[in-house]
């Protein structure tokens, strides 16, 4: 395998070498082909669904992930007209906190329990009280314990327990490997950089059921003959481990260096900040983890529901928009933007709480739920759409205030990524509500996959270190806060924060 030095970059470009990377998300898989500077050449998306067999369960069929990888690979090769021979390496970004038991041949023994799955609440509580780990029902360690207690035959048959990305790495290489960013969410000793023997012993989880841990930039195998036949990629192409969606987004946002913050608005959302030390929150509202660059910490506050709230409203209450989109050949989200833009800031004092499937930050509550507050006969569908956008932005402002209080750092601007950031209307709402400059990077909805591609470039020694990648990612557009609208939103924002304390008792009583 040929490795390139930074001085060879010009030569490599002359030979038209490229990278292919995948973002295996909650609602679909994106594939991109980029050049060695992260410029996107081609992209493709395939969607799939969550499976809700029971209340609080949220599963996915891992074979649907792989089918999506195959289809998107073929599409990006066809549209880019790039020969697989010219693809230098493959890497991945993926949803985190999944729990998938597989046998020795890599065959899934049951559907994957995704990060949205809440069935292991009792196990999470037990781990907190008896092991001292601050975990929730969404964390893999809780789900592994649930599997052990409720599906003992499946647990015993499991050769390895994988996260989403790890399964795709296996399908490409035949190797059972995770990376440092995903391992931290299970039972990992950060200081020793190995699985925690103590935690696994207490929970009676054999360490050999957990995969080998690699660095995100590490080459973990080559494309097998079988994977080459299925995808159309070249057998023997290096496969770089990649990382979870959160750390890849840090790279794709151009926010790796200390003090840089970014905002992600996809199905879920988050605010992340590169910091020099690890922070711990007794309330469990945030996490600090080592990123793609294992010498740096990233502080993250995740909100569970962002664009998914718009998606839910569109699919259930805006069928007329879908019909109009078909008639006019317009993107339905363009029509949603047009409707929201016609409504004044504040949506006639209508407030939406976006906690549709529980929340992690700014409040930690798996039972929190969404609500429209102040709804009246004067409100139209456009007001509801605008209120949803504003509600997600209020949640982000609340998070930003916690970040600044915790770190003492003043955040003036946010590098912004995710499909939601294609909307200039929503970007302006975020700016007006938070009081921050919103800098939307080029190809925002593909930032995770581009981050994975550039992670591969570091692994292949095209760049010396991960921090070098920040300079490669251009801003597509920037919006600035407007004082007039910031002042309109202030009282509504205060009401938004108060809504949780007023409604939390109802949430919990109805979920019992």
Is the pLDDT at 11 greater than 60? The verdict is: no
CA atoms within 13 A of residue 328's CA, in its CB half-sphere: 12
For the ranges 8-17, 89-98, 487-496, the lowest mean pLDDT is seen at 8-17
> pLDDT tens digits, residue range 154-194?
999 999 999 999 999 999 999 999 999 999 988 999 989 99
- Give a yes or no: residue 460 inside a domain: no
Three-state DSSP string of 228-247: HHHHCCCCCCEEECCEEHHH
In whole angstroms, what is the distance from residue 331 CA to residue 342 CA? 18
221 and 266 part of one domain: no
Q: Is the pLDDT of residue 351 over 70?
A: yes
pLDDT tens profile 423-480: 999 999 999 999 999 999 999 999 999 999 999 999 999 999 999 999 899 999 999 9
Number of domains in the chain: 2
- The answer to whether residue 397 is domain-embedded is yes
Q: Are 178 and 227 in contact (CB under 8 A)?
A: no
Say which CATH number the domain at 56 has. 3.30.420.40
Q: What is the pLDDT of residue 338?
A: 96
Task: Judge contact between 72 and 233, C-beta under 8 A.
Answer: no
For position 15, what pLDDT does the model report?
52
Collect all residues with Cβ–Cβ distance below 8 Å to 145 and sequence separation of at least 6. Answer: 120, 123, 126, 127, 203, 205
**3 state SS of 439:** strand
Mean pLDDT of 60-70: 98
Asked whether residue 326 falls in the same domain as residue 225, the answer is no
Same domain, 472 and 347: yes
Taking a C-beta distance cutoff of 8 angstroms, is the pair 260, 273 a contact? yes
Can you tell me the distance from the alpha carbon of 433 to that of 424, in angstroms, rounded to the nearest whole number?
14
User: Across all residues in the chain, what is the average pLDDT?
Assistant: 94
Task: Examine residue 452 and state whether it is found in any structural domain, yes or no.
Answer: no
On whether residue 458 sits in a domain, the answer given is no
Share of the chain above pLDDT 90, in %: 85
pLDDT for residue 207 is more than 80 = yes
Separation CA 351–CA 218 (nearest Å): 46
Q: How do strand 243-244 and strand 87-94 relate by DSSP bridges?
A: parallel
Residue 295's pLDDT is 86
Q: Is residue 478 part of a domain?
A: yes
Q: Among 187, 208, 241, which residue terminates a domain?
A: 241
Q: Do both 154 and 192 map to the same domain?
A: yes
One domain for residues 298 and 156 = no
Mean pLDDT of 45-70: 96
Indicate whether 1 pLDDT > 60.
Answer: no
Residue that is last in its domain, among 216, 241, 266: 241
Q: Are 137 and 121 in contact (CB under 8 A)?
A: yes
| Structure confidence at residue 37 (pLDDT) | 95
Is residue 249 assigned to a domain? no
One domain, residues 216 and 264? no
Q: What is the DSSP letter of 378?
A: T
Within 121-244, strands assigned E span 160-162, 177-179, 188-189, 194-195, 212-214, 219-222, 238-240, 243-244
Position 43 in a domain? yes
Are 214 and 276 found together in one domain? no
Q: Which domain holds residue 490?
A: 254-445+466-512
* Whether residue 229 is found in the same domain as residue 265: no
The domain boundary residue, chosen from 220, 241, 262: 241
pLDDT tens per residue across span 146-159 = 999 999 999 999 99
Q: What is the pLDDT of residue 267?
A: 85
In this structure, the answer to whether residues 47 and 133 fall within a common structural domain is yes
Confidence of residue 45 (pLDDT cuts 50, 70, 90): very high
Q: What is the CA radius of gyration of the chain?
A: 22
- 163 and 258 together in one domain: no
Q: How far apart are CA 404 and CA 503, in angstroms?
A: 26
* Shared-domain flag, residues 258 and 231: no
């Amino acid at each position: 395998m040929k490795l390139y030095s930074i001085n060879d970059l010009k030569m490599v470009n002359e030979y038209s070498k490229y990278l292919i990377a995948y973002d295996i998300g909650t609602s679909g898989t994106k594939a991109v082909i980029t050049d060695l500077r992260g410029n996107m050449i081609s992209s493709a998306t395939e969607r799939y669904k969550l499976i809700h067999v029971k209340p609080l369960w949220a599963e996915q069929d891992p074979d649907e992930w792989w089918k999506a990888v195959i289809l998107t690979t073929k599409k990006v090769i066809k549209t880019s007209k790039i020969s697989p021979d010219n693809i230098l390496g493959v890497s991945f970004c993926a949803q985190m906190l999944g729990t998938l038991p597989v046998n020795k041949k890599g065959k899934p023994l049951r559907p994957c329990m995704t990060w949205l799955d809440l069935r292991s609440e009792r196990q999470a509580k037990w781990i907190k009280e008896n092991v001292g780990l601050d975990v929730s029902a969404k964390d893999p360690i809780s789900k592994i314990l649930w599997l052990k207690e409720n599906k003992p035959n499946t647990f015993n048959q499991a050769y390895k327990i994988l996260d989403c990305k790890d399964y795709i790495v296996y399908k490409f290489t035949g190797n059972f490997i995770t990376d440092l960013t995903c391992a931290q969410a299970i039972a990992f000793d950060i200081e020793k950089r190995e699985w925690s023997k103590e935690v696994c012993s207490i929970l009676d989880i054999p360490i050999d059921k957990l995969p080998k841990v690699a660095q995100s930039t590490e080459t973990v195998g080559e494309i097998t003959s079988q994977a080459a036949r299925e995808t159309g990629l070249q057998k023997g192409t290096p496969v770089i481990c990649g990382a979870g969606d959160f750390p890849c987004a840090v790279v794709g946002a151009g926010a790796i260096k200390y003090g840089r913050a970014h905002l992600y608005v996809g199905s879920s959302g988050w605010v992340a900040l590169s910091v020099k030390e690890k922070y711990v929150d007794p309330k469990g509202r945030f996490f600090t983890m080592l990123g793609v660059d294992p010498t740096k910490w990233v502080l993250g506050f995740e909100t569970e529901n962002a664009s998914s709230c718009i998606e839910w409203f569109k699919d259930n209450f805006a069928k007329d928009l879908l019909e109009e989109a078909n008639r006019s050949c317009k993107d339905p989200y363009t029509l949603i933007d047009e409707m929201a833009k016609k409504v004044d800031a504040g949506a006639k004092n209508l407030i939406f709480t976006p906690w549709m499937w529980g929340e992690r930050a700014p409040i930690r509550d798996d039972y929190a739920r969404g609500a429209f507050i102040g709804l009246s006969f004067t409100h139209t569908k456009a007001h509801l759409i605008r209120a949803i956008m504003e509600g997600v932005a209020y949640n982000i402002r609340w998070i930003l205030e916690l970040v600044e209080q915790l770190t003492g750092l003043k955040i003036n601007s946010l590098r912004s990524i995710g499909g939601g950031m294609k909307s200039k209307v929503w970007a302006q709402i975020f700016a007006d509500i938070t009081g921050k400059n919103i800098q939307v990077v080029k190809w925002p909805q593909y930032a995770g996959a581009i981050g994975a591609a550039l992670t591969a470039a570091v692994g292949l020694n095209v760049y010396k270190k991960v921090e070098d990648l920040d300079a490669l990612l251009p801003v597509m557009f920037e919006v600035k806060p407007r004082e007039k609208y910031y002042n309109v939103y202030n009282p509504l924002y205060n009401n938004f924060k108060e809504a949780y304390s007023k409604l939390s008792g109802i949430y919990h009583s109805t979920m019992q």
